[in-house]
Amino acid sequence: MAMTKSSMPRVNPLNPNLYALLEHKFGEVKIANAGSAANVQRFADPLHPGRIITQAHWWGEYYCVCCPFCNDVGHKLWINHLYGADYNPKTGRRTDTFLAHCYKNGCIAQEGRAEQLEDMIFGPGRWANRKMPIRTGDMSPVDEDLSPPGDILKLTDLPAHHPAVEYLTDRGFDINELSEVFNVGVCVDAVPRYKIMNGRIYIPAAFNGKLVAWQGRLTRNPASKQEPKYYTQGRKSRALYNYDTARGEKAVVLVEGAPSVWRLGRAGVALFGKTLSYWQENTIATTWAGKPVFVVLDCDAQKELEHAVMQLCQHNLHVVPVVLPDARDPADYSRSDLRDILSAAASAVNVQADLSFLG
């Protein structure tokens, strides 16, 4: 596959759908041979009926990302703009595996890696069952930059008698874990636009290292119906709370809000609501392919639970619906109780799950 590396300016990609998916999944995407279309001929193999021979005079534009299968930080995984254009209707798999190559360790040529990469980008399951074409506007990152609402103090830097520390401690949360794992803090000196955040617990949500949403939680009960318990900025439909930490775990547990994530630990992810957006659905499907996906919504959201399970099952995920035994929310249980509940739910649907994140 002869190629000449070019300088890699960001321009309008030839395949915006693929580019958006790669940017969504890997963060920064560089472009090689920008704007140059492949010159490819395909013809029937005269010696093997039914087989197609592909001959390229020039492969054109490539999208360069950091390879997820090795310690690559130099954008050595090159993916051609024609990647994913063909598929085998019998297997539901691509027939153009040669259109992706890792120039660091040749990772994609290793057994099973081509299929892993395909599932990572497009989601698991047969090609014909996938939501195509990809809605680029739904998958590309939010353009606007989101900043914290003011100065943020770490919980561990606050005295034990601070209202936020007292509130969280009374609920049985570990202040060190909240501060170090979940980056929870307290907002002070809020900018005028967000003066409502002064003194609130600050709950940031990042995606690929970029702040995409945040919430502020009162440290007391609201004084009136006009005072919101939670104040949120950012597009909740384009965020998954604790994503950057949970993506490396052996399972994921989907819940509604941040306190339930704190109770679960590193594998918890909050939807910021009761329903799955298309962005959230696709992100979950491509991130936790092959891993257990627990869905544990609050006790008053059983219809939403059924719908979310149906959405995720379309991607051939190992979905585990969890119905809590009483009228409490996940944040109201202990970790040991949640481990028992999740273990029983996984056994009921014959899914093997590593729940070590619950201690």
Is the Cβ–Cβ distance between 335 and 265 less than 8 Å? yes
Percent pLDDT > 70 in the chain is 87
Whole-Å CA distances, 123 to 3, 23, 282, 306: 29, 15, 7, 21
Percent pLDDT > 90 in the chain is 53
Q: Could you read off the pLDDT of 54-85 as tens digits, one per residue?
A: 677 788 999 999 998 998 999 999 999 988 87
How far is it, in rounded angstroms, from Cα 124 to Cα 23?
18
Whole-Å CA distances, 126 to 25, 39, 77, 280, 314: 20, 28, 24, 20, 10
Q: Is the pLDDT of residue 3 over 50?
A: no
pTM, rounded to two decimals: 0.71
Q: Could you read off the pLDDT of 50-62 as tens digits, one per residue?
A: 666 767 778 899 9
Q: Which residue from 59, 67, 71 is spatially nearest to 120, judged by alpha carbons? A: 67
Q: Which residue from 229, 69, 230, 239 is spatially nearest to 141, judged by alpha carbons? A: 239
All domains in the chain, ordered by first residue: 16-139 (no CATH), 151-235 (3.90.980.10), 243-358 (3.40.1360.10)
Is the Cβ–Cβ distance between 193 and 233 less than 8 Å? no
Is the Cβ–Cβ distance between 289 and 273 less than 8 Å? no
Give the three-class secondary structure for 335: helix
Q: Could you read off the pLDDT of 313-346 as tens digits, one per residue?
A: 887 789 999 999 888 899 999 999 999 999 999 9
- Identity of residue 173: F
The H or E element that residue 180 is part of is: helix 175-180
226-244: b (≥16 Cβ within 10 Å) or e:
eeeeebbbbebbbbbbbbe
Q: Average of pLDDT values for 250-270?
A: 97
Q: Is the pLDDT of residue 31 over 90?
A: yes
Is the Cβ–Cβ distance between 237 and 256 less than 8 Å? no
How far is it, in rounded angstroms, from Cα 151 to Cα 326?
40
Give the three-class secondary structure for 241: strand
Structure tokens at 122: 């497009």
